[in-house]
Amino acid sequence: MVAPAKAAGALLATSPYASRRQTKVPGWAGLTAWDVLFNNLSLGLFLVTALGMLVRPAWFASTATAAYIVAFVLVLVDLSLLVVDLGDPPRFTHMLRVAKRESPMSVGTWSLSGYAALLFLVCIVSVAGWEDVTRVLAAVTLIPAAGGVLYKGVLFSATSQAGWRASRWLGALMAESAVLVGAALLLAILVLSHQGGGEGASAVRAALAVLLVLQIATALEVRRDVPGRYGPLAGLVVWIGVLAVGIVVPLELLLLGNLFQIVAALLVVAAAPVLRYALVFLPRDGRKEPS
């Protein structure tokens, strides 16, 4: 055997495998994006409502029950999407055979199952009018709810997939975004129940404005980590969609007072699927994976 007079590494330019994606993209697509959305809507709404009931029960007493029920319906939709995505209903329960903290999917399964079960009880005692029991149960439910919020972004970022793996703040963005859309949804519920001018709405509106600013910071951080994952035009559309429609315009509307707060809240919720689609589809942009 005689070595060829070729420099090592010269093959990188010509080998067809050097430019191919080294990982396989999981089949997480549209259903997953909606799953993330409903997860965030339910958990965010519950978190903000429960915090409101713990800190200022008088301000939210008349809307909390409705908010809890909406959160429960949303988590049922989320769980249904997860079951459909797996393709076979018993498969979800199979994930409850083991608990693994190193598996974000396992953390999420246990968190969501615990959250949904406890939220069901919260709804029942809230409808029954047992306020003290509701507050205690809601406080306990905050624990699995926090787990449900935290795992979602980490499920994507702690992988080997291009786009997700580069984004160290993806989990942070999704966690913050969950509270943001939850606050927007609660504000919408408050307005629709004719409490848009109350102290509760005022506090939630202020929180929403601050969370929108925080969203800009986390979104910029994610954008910095994964530059150019989408083409120039698609990237621009996504960026304008998320930044302008979902953040800047609602922020301005909120600063105008409570006149347009329902529009601002609905814009935040309407822009939420765009952000989630953009994040879920990050590894599917068809570009060469960076080496």
Residues 234-273 close enough to bind another protein by CB under 8 A: none
CA distance 278 to 68: 29
Q: Which residue, 97 or 227, is less far from another protein as judged by CB?
A: 97
Residues 176-205 close enough to bind another protein by CB under 8 A: 176, 179-180, 183, 199, 202-205
- Which 3 state secondary structure label does DSSP give 284? helix
What are the tokens at 207?
A: 């929180």
Task: Evaluate whether 185 touches 74 at the Cβ level (below 8 Å).
Answer: no
Q: Which residue, 2 or 233, is less far from another protein as judged by CB?
A: 2
Tokens 């055979």 appear where? 97
* Of 64-72, 163-171, 243-251, 259-267: span binding another protein (CB under 8 A): 163-171
* 30 is a site residue for another protein (CB under 8 A): no
Binding mask 67-106 for another protein (x = CB under 8 A): -------------------xxx--xx-xx-xx-x-xxxxx
DSSP string spanning 144-204? HHHHHHHHHHHHHHSSS-TTTTT-TTHHHHHHHHHHHHHHHHHHHHHHHTT-TTSHHHHHH
Cα-Cα-Cα-Cα torsion 204, 275, 32, 78, nearest 10 degrees, comes to 10
Q: Which residue, 27 or 232, is less far from another protein as judged by CB?
A: 27
* 159 is a site residue for another protein (CB under 8 A): yes
What one-letter code names the amino acid at 53?
A: M
Q: How far is the CB of 244 from another protein (least distance, A)?
A: 22
* 290 is a site residue for another protein (CB under 8 A): no
Pick from 36, 64, 118, 175 the residue near another protein by CB under 8 A.
175
What one-letter code names the amino acid at 246?
A: G
Q: How far is the CB of 233 from another protein (least distance, A)?
A: 27
Q: How far is the CB of 10 from another protein (least distance, A)?
A: 8
Q: Is the dihedral of CA 144, 81, 52, 181 positive or negative?
A: positive
Q: Which residue, 57 or 241, is less far from another protein as judged by CB?
A: 57
Residues listed for the chain: 291
